[in-house]
Structure 1
Amino acid sequence: MEILLVLIALVVVFFILTINKKSPKNIEPESATSKTIETEETVESKNDNSEESDEEYLNSFVVIDTETTGISEGYQVIEIAVVDMNENVLLSERVKPNIPIEQGATKVHGIVEGDLSNSESFASLTERFLFAIQGKRIAGYNLQYDTDAIYNSATASDADLKFSNEAVCVMHYANTIFKLTKSMKLTELCEAFSINTSNAHSAAPDALMTVKLMKKLFEIENNFEDNYLPEFEEINPLNLSTCQDGDTLTEWTASDGRVMLFSPSSVGGAGRVAHLSEATKNRVAEIYESDGAVDYIVNYESAIPTIEIKTYSKEEVENIESKRQQEYIDSLRNELPVAGVFPRKGSLRLTLKNNLLLEPYTTQNFEVDEQLYIKHQSLDSFLDGSLLLDFYDESDKLVAQQYLSKPWKRVAGIITSGYKATVQIVNPTEKHNTKVDVIFNNAE
């Protein structure tokens, strides 16, 4: 019995130092130190001179996760799990705290105080926790939050528990790889890599999710030599994962000068995939200044998506635009005669959108009962023009133009087949949209 007590005492002494997280900004991305967080003592990180293989290094970790009473000062553990890199659950226990569980916390993990009536105090599982992490590096998603909860619970239950294992915060690890200034949720990152999140917000499932995510991050770092997508920052792997192979990302410049890329399916401000780095932004600006163009193409040559920057000279842009224009004209030559079926009532109720006035970025508001006119044109004449529908007022002044959306292609088809039209304003313009009746008459 005395020997057992001595062994336990030695184990506790081995772990007498607290964890101090290392900011991703202080991590050298060219070295393997991005996989580690130093303790208050100096710890040797894995480096190129290490005799440890990548597999041995990764397998030297266990992942910790907790569910807690909340976020108030002194919050405590109510569920704790330790999982190894082979996804073996080494510890999974609920814990009875000595402070109430906050309602906000219960909304997240679903645990109420009644669920813990038969659970042990934290002090009673201290030895099992120490045994589970003994001789291992530790990892966790937002690890400081978990370790603070563990220390709070140890203090509250009179368990003198401290540990100094070499450690990595997987959240900070992800921030380093994706060059993020704002951390993503564990579930978001897992969804980006098709890791099942159905049982999220329970300690053991979250630890298992973190194990799988850590392996994926390790793979990305190794495959891309510690610099994933070097031309970009603030990479959102979840939004990138929604893109298909060959998709072209949409470029948008913010008022503060940041240049962002969005997925093709983006709605509003959602779907941001990445920002251009300062060096890339300057390089792209030079291309635009020379009347060139840039495309950002999603590439799935490997299981991990990348973004290819494809540039075009002024001459290439002109050739591409000419080819596209001709293809569009050829398609309209085939579509308009088919689309131009004369309506049974002699009119169509449509919405006039995207009014392109003669001056860019100006808009025009129309009032109820106001009338506009569309002139007859031959098909060849229309195809040789702007490829927009022109709207004139009573003084024969061009006042608006309309892109050929599907319903307006029908109008263009009718206009080019021997008709003209009176456009009667039905509702006043709201948000650049105007309800109209397009009434067709034979061309004189």
Structure 2
Amino acid sequence: MRQIVLDTETTGIGEGHRIIEIGCVEVIERKLTGRHYHRYIHPQRDIDAEAQEVHGISIEWLEETGAPVFAQVADEFREFIAGAELVIHNAAFDVGMMDAEFDRLNLTKTAQFCGVLDTLKLARDMFPGSRVSLDALCKRYDIDNSHRELHGALLDSEILAEVYLAMTGGQTDLALAVEDNQQGGAADINIDESLLNAAELVVVRASDDEIQAHEQMLDLVDKKSEGALWRRS
């Protein structure tokens, strides 16, 4: 099985933002092949200050280095990943950004020529309630990431490849936790029945725009930090 471990860096989150770096490493039959794909990309727009603090990439630097625009690298990028299963931490964010770039060029979406495996979802299923950021998983699996001062797409994809192989390579703490729970049994829970008769509360629901803005912020938290508590299962 051919897998491509992938990461991107962007100008920010939400509609209209662009990819400025792509990093990929190839894994075949659970072994790193040494092949990789890496490009810096001029986004043709400004980079949000918050995003620049995360990855350290500026428009001035991209212009000085002569970074191509996405249209110039789209074909080679798609050729590299075509037919593979993409392994991505918070895949919804990266695939969403990729598909937005493909849409601008009238190209087919990612799911039409690649499979996708989300290691963020995998980690949440394996370690419910625990921190599942890339840094937290490195600590859990004793993977050295001390050289990771800023987020970079190629470096993060290399680290994620190690994390993914460790996560899927053998017994995990999840099996031990299940065994402990089975031995310990469930605790008795006492419920105050008077609370069930409380007066009906008025619920003020968020607007569609507020929900979209909230989800976009959680996307960035999921990708760049310890993961949003609201989304932990």
Give the shorter-chain TM-score range.
0.5 to 0.7
Measured after TM superposition, the shift of residue 150 of structure 1 is 1.2
Pick the structure with greater CA Rg: 1
Counterpart of 2:73 in structure 1 is 125
Cα deviation digits, residues 234-290 of structure 1 (max 9, x gap): xxxxxxxxxxxxxxxxxxxxxxxxxxxxxxxxxxxxxxxxxxx598452699xxxxx
Deviations 1:353-396 (A, max 9, x none): xxxxxxxxxxxxxxxxxxxxxxxxxxxxxxxxxxxxxxxxxxxx
Letter in 1 for 2:50: G
Residues 1:207 and 2:149 are matched in the alignment:
no
Correspondence for 1:106: 52
Q: Say whether residues 1:148 and 2:96 are aligned partners.
A: yes
What root-mean-square deviation, in Å, do the aligned CA atoms of Structure 1 and Structure 2 show?
2.7
Paired residues of 2:98 and 2:110 also in contact (CA < 8 A): no
Q: Name the CA shift for 1:104/1:224 in 2 (closer, same or farther; >3 Å).
A: closer
Aligned to 1:290: none
Identify if the C-alpha distance between structure 1 residues 146 and 152 changes in structure 2 by more than 3 Å, giving closer, same or farther.
same
User: Aligned equivalents of 1:201 and 1:87: distance in 2?
Assistant: 23
1:162 aligns with one of 92, 109, 127: 109
Partner of 1:63: 5
Task: Specify whether residues 219 and 113 from structure 1 end up closer, same or farther in structure 2 by C-alpha distance, changes over 3 A only.
Answer: same
Percent identity among equivalent residues? 22
Partner of residue 96, structure 1: 42
Return the alpha-carbon distance in structure 2 between the equivalents of residues 87 and 110 of structure 1: 29
Higher strand share: 1
Are residue 76 (structure 1) and residue 24 (structure 2) matched? no
Check the 8 A contact 1:87/1:208 in 2, yes or no. Answer: no
State how far apart, in whole Å, the 2-side matches of 1:218 and 1:61 are. 13
> Residue 183 and residue 283 in structure 1: after superposition, are their counterparts in 2 closer, same or farther (change >3 A)?
closer
- CA 1:149 to 1:194, structure 2 compared with 1: closer, same or farther past 3 Å? same
CA deviation profile, 1:376-431 (whole Å, cap 9, x unmatched): xxxxxxxxxxxxxxxxxxxxxxxxxxxxxxxxxxxxxxxxxxxxxxxxxxxxxxxx
CA shift for structure 1 position 226: 7.6
**Letter of the 1:175 counterpart:** R
Deviation (angstroms), 1:147:
0.9
Note the C-alpha offset of 1:225. 11
Conserved in 2, the CA contact under 8 Å of 1:89 and 1:204?
A: no
Q: Distance in 2 between matches of 1:203 and 1:190?
A: 16
Letter in 1 for 2:59: E
Give the alignment of 1:131-142 within 5 angstroms: 131-142=79-90
Identify unmatched segments of 5+ residues in structure 1.
1-56, 233-276, 286-444
Partners of 2:83 and 2:115 within 8 A in 1: no
Q: Which runs of 4+ in 1 moved over 6 A?
A: none
Q: Match of 1:108, as an amino acid?
A: V
Q: Which runs of 5+ in 2 are unaligned?
A: 190-233
Q: Using CA pairs below 8 Å that are at least 6 residues apart, which structure has the higher relative contact order?
A: 2
Residues 81 and 91 in structure 1, CA contact (< 8 A), matched pair in contact too: yes
Give the 5 Å matches for 1:153-192. 153-156=101-104, 158-164=105-111, 165-180=114-129, 184-192=132-140
Q: How many residues align?
A: 179
- Post-superposition Cα deviations, 1:3-55, rounded to whole Å, max 9, x if no partner, equal xxxxxxxxxxxxxxxxxxxxxxxxxxxxxxxxxxxxxxxxxxxxxxxxxxxxx
Calculate the TM-score normalised by the size of structure 1.
0.37
Query: Hey, what's the Cα distance between the residues in 1 that align with 2:87 and 2:17?
Result: 20
SS in 1 for 2:7: strand
Structure 2 Cα separation of the partners of residues 81 and 159 of structure 1: 23
User: Do the aligned residues in 2 keep the contact of 1:97 with 1:153 (CA within 8 Å)?
Assistant: no
| Structure having the larger proportion of residues in helix | 2
